Structure 1
Amino acid sequence: MVRLGFIMLFTLLLTNCKSAKIPKHLEKSLSARFYEPQFTGLMVYNPRTKDTVFNYNAERYFTPASNTKIFTLFTALQYLPEKIPAFKYTVQQDTLIVQGTGDPSFLHPYFKDSTALEFMKNYKAIKLVTDNYSNEKFGPGWAWEDYDTYFSPERSAFPLYGNVVSISNTDDLKTYPEFLKSQTTYTLMGKRRDFNANNFYLKLTRKSPTEVPFVLDTTMVKALWNDLLPGKVELIPSTTAKTDQILYSIPSDSLYKRMMHVSDNFLAEQILILASSTVSDTLDADTIRKSILDNQLNDLKQKPKWRDGSGLSNYNLFTPLSFVQVLEKLYAEIPRERLFNFFPAGGVSGTLKNWYAGENGPYVFAKTGTLSSASTLSGYLLTNSGEVLIFSFMNNNYNTSTNKVKEHMQAILEYLRDNY
């Protein structure tokens, strides 16, 4: 008994020694000259013991970049079913009346889901309601010059092809959808599309495929639908019909995983629109963000300024503590294997493929975030002792390369892995 008591006391002293050592080391690391010109916050939390391992500016607000998608994921898991609602509808004789739900998978370049199209082919006439979307096509605080970039497509009630044209030049100029090839030409300039018109350009020297957002004006929408279902689809502003039936498309988890792994802004924006479709016929991402903050997340110690689903907006402001709180909720509610599958794995997948590689497999499962002078990382860390730590590491206003910031973050997370 005496021997056992000695072992327990020794273990307790060793644990306390480690616990004291880690904050001192991290504090020293974050006090280094490298961090002086920038703004940095880090929170590390043990969900098993409910202990805060380390807190450095965790209650301060930061521009989160794509870490915002963690809140979008949480919202989706609260509102959306196992399969994505493709659209709402009702049938009147031989006419299908349809309201979009914001499903981004319809003929998307990655998913290429045709569930909705195959269903529509069974009807002689289709009336597509156009007035059930209440947000702007771009999010607040988005950069106007990104209008022709793959990561900034317009938001909409019934996306087609991911709201982009995919252009490639292997043996010949090819577009997806093929219909838009006639509006695509080669160029020596850098632009990919006219500012406010659907004229697309591929740089002559470009070898890899590119995706270019298109303008979702009425002419374009009509033309795309007529190409898919010639003469069948009529756009109507509203309907008195009760569109209370729902067609479902792809498994929801596949959408979440894609959003998180490649940090897909379009999917993130549309997922919030999808979530709003489950509570109202009017699609409104602003309303669903307010609802989730007022209800499921009303216990957050610092309420974020949350303006879009993707993190493209420079108006977003979140604290590391808020991310840790939401990540803890996810960890408590979702089985670990399923939850970690949503996040990029260090050294293995997604935006972490070239970072945080462990000798015995990935030790970081987390969401990256990058904007100009903003580099963030929030998620889960597996220690060599078998613990799971939740962390949020946020860097803003630095004047060095993002890779340098990432190298310093990696060194700190490796220390936690090896010493906690």
Structure 2
Amino acid sequence: MITASKYSKKLTFVGRLSLMMLMSLVLVNCKSSKISKHLNKTLDSSFYENQFTGLMVYNPRTKDTVYNYNANRYFTPASNTKIFTLYTALQYLPAEIPALKYALAQDTLIVKGTGDPTFLHPYFKDSTALNFFRSFKAVKLVIDNYDNEKFGPGWAWEDYDMYYSPERSAFPMYGNVATISNTGQLKTYPEFLKGKTSYSDLNGRRDFNTNTFFYKVTRKDTIEVPFVVDSTLVKQLWDDLIPGKVENIPNTTIKTDQILYSVASDSVYKRMMQVSDNFIAEQLLILASSTVSDTLDADSVRKSILDNQLNDLKQKPYWVDGSGLSRYNLFTPLSFVQVLEKLYTEIPHERLFNFFPVGGKSGTIKAWYAGETTPYVYAKTGTVGNVHCLSGYLLTNSGEVLIFSFMNNNYRTSTSKIKEQMQTVLEYLRDTY
């Protein structure tokens, strides 16, 4: 039996708990109201009046929207697109990158590419496939199991000779680029392409449709120039590595169900996110498609993940490539926040933050968003002409982790000035929330 005294004490405890919860809610609302008032004043200022701006800030612990400014509007995301590519790769790919699929026919190896970008890549220089091929008398390499165009929809045609726009393919070699430097004489990687490279007074780096490369006589740096991926060059590159052993063949009905693996997948994800590597991003979607079919089709993977794992997005993006090179891509800040929350929920935080550029420390934000003592921003940039976006995670001085997406389109000022304004906003959130 509960006495009046005990009932009074129990009621008092319940009352105190309810009061504490109410006070906590009031404090949160007051804080959010203060932040909204301050940020509304900032984003409604004259600096932002001639551009499109969207900002969403979200607390994944409390499930509260801290701030929303045009978060449901569509923007050109540039390389923020790689956040969706990262999520897709993590859903489809194993701990190690599938280097190739193969079958054995007596002493002949039959191979289909998976889209692995690391094979003899200037950064990874992985030789797993090469060492494997050397152990067989003959190798038959399928060269037409890739079902998309070599360039993405909406890519700028004049970027064909720029390092950030390599062709997509089923079995990339050397990152699908020629690496050229001047050390008293021209030096190329792969060395085979030296015979196709010459000094020039012109600014162009390669003929439009052929593998003829140029290095401007006044240069002293190292440049990467995409090469044309065709059957002739592929054959020449393999003959340079292991003469007479590799034969290009059309697609075959032979079941290539054995898989050879190469490097740790996390190292590829980190490279894509840290330096915003477009080639790796494109190839990761192709790799993802290799896990469900022998025909490589990045388009089908994007559709599949939007229809399944990401079918709860409140605004479905218009998503056409893996890198964000295309201006056809359209995403909302809210969609980025939703995917970033999924990553935050599904991936251990130390591992997840290791993928992203770190403010003041690494990657594309090394020169920005430096904390006073420790980093406070882990985020992916996205930049093309008149577009700059930043989406990721912000650590506040109070110990909270906020997810944010800050998108700027169609501005006419310098990108540095955009970054200055963004840094001011993010520092305010760090210090206030």
TM-score between the two structures when normalised by the length of structure 2 = 0.95
Query: 2:232 matched to 1:219?
Result: yes
* Equivalent residue in structure 2 for 1:108, among 118, 121, 137: 121
How far apart, in 1, do the equivalents of 2:428 and 2:27 lie? 17
Counterpart in the other structure of 1:202: 215
How far apart, in 1, do the equivalents of 2:90 and 2:222 lie? 33
Deviation of 1:108 (Å)? 0.1
Deviation of 1:19 (Å)? 2.0
**Aligned positions of 1:53-202 closer than 5 A:** 53-202=66-215
Query: 2:36 matched to 1:23?
Result: yes
Counterpart in the other structure of 2:358: 345
* Equivalent residue in structure 1 for 2:387, among 356, 359, 374: 374
How far apart, in 2, do the equivalents of 1:291 and 1:277 lie? 13
- Structure 2, unmatched stretches of 5+, are 1-13
Counterpart in the other structure of 2:244: 231
How far apart, in 2, do the equivalents of 1:366 and 1:12 lie? 29
Deviation of 1:15 (Å)? 3.9
How far apart, in 1, do the equivalents of 2:265 and 2:137 lie? 30
How far apart, in 2, do the equivalents of 1:55 and 1:318 lie? 15
Secondary structure in structure 2 of the residue aligned to 1:78: helix
User: Residue type of the partner of 2:413?
Assistant: T
Deviation of 1:84 (Å)? 0.1
User: Residue type of the partner of 1:147?
Assistant: Y
Task: Evaluate the alpha carbon distance shift between residue 7 and residue 80 of structure 1 in structure 2; reply closer, same or farther with a 3 A threshold.
Answer: closer
Q: Deviations over 1:197-218 (max 9, x none)?
A: 1010111111110000000122
Task: Evaluate the alpha carbon distance shift between residue 271 and residue 9 of structure 1 in structure 2; reply closer, same or farther with a 3 A threshold.
Answer: closer
* Equivalent residue in structure 2 for 1:318, among 315, 327, 331: 331
Secondary structure in structure 2 of the residue aligned to 1:227: helix
How far apart, in 2, do the equivalents of 1:10 and 1:297 lie? 36
Deviation of 1:239 (Å)? 1.6
How far apart, in 2, do the equivalents of 1:21 and 1:401 lie? 30
Counterpart in the other structure of 2:9: none
User: Residue type of the partner of 1:33?
Assistant: S
Contact kept in structure 1, 2:143 and 2:231, CA below 8 Å: no
How far apart, in 2, do the equivalents of 1:179 and 1:243 lie? 30
Off by >3 Å, runs of 4+ in structure 1 = 1-16
Q: Deviations over 1:138-189 (max 9, x none)?
A: 0000000000000000000000000000001123211000000011111111
Q: Deviations over 1:293-339 (max 9, x none)?
A: 00000000000000000000010000000000000000000000000
How far apart, in 2, do the equivalents of 1:67 and 1:157 lie? 24
Deviation of 1:12 (Å)? 5.8
Secondary structure in structure 2 of the residue aligned to 1:368: strand
- Structure 1, 63-72 or 17-26: larger mean CA deviation: 17-26
Counterpart in the other structure of 2:304: 291
Deviation of 1:2 (Å)? 12
Q: Deviations over 1:235-283 (max 9, x none)?
A: 1102221100000000000000000000000000000000000000000
Across the two proteins, how many residue pairs are aligned to each other? Answer: 420
Q: Deviations over 1:30-50 (max 9, x none)?
A: 000000000000000000000
How far apart, in 1, do the equivalents of 2:18 and 2:245 lie? 81
Secondary structure in structure 1 of the residue aligned to 2:238: helix
The structure that has the greater radius of gyration is 2
Deviation of 1:17 (Å)? 2.6
Q: Deviations over 1:324-366 (max 9, x none)?
A: 0000000000000000000000000000100000012110000
Contact kept in structure 1, 2:159 and 2:165, CA below 8 Å: yes
* Equivalent residue in structure 2 for 1:274, among 281, 287, 290: 287
Query: 2:48 matched to 1:35?
Result: yes
How far apart, in 2, do the equivalents of 1:257 and 1:321 lie? 24
Deviation of 1:219 (Å)? 1.2
How far apart, in 2, do the equivalents of 1:375 and 1:174 lie? 35
User: Residue type of the partner of 1:233?
Assistant: V
Superposition RMSD on alpha carbons, in Å? Answer: 1.6
Deviation of 1:13 (Å)? 5.0
User: Residue type of the partner of 1:193?
Assistant: R
Counterpart in the other structure of 1:264: 277
Deviation of 1:225 (Å)? 1.0
- Structure 1, unmatched stretches of 5+, are none
- Structure 1, 236-245 or 84-93: larger mean CA deviation: 236-245
Deviation of 1:16 (Å)? 3.5
User: Residue type of the partner of 1:285?
Assistant: A
Q: Percent identity?
A: 76
How far apart, in 1, do the equivalents of 2:121 and 2:20 lie? 60
TM-score between the two structures when normalised by the length of structure 1 = 0.98
Q: Deviations over 1:80-132 (max 9, x none)?
A: 00000000001111100000000000000000000110011000100001121
Secondary structure in structure 1 of the residue aligned to 2:240: helix
- Structure 1, 353-362 or 104-113: larger mean CA deviation: 353-362
Counterpart in the other structure of 1:400: 413
* Equivalent residue in structure 1 for 2:423, among 398, 410, 418: 410
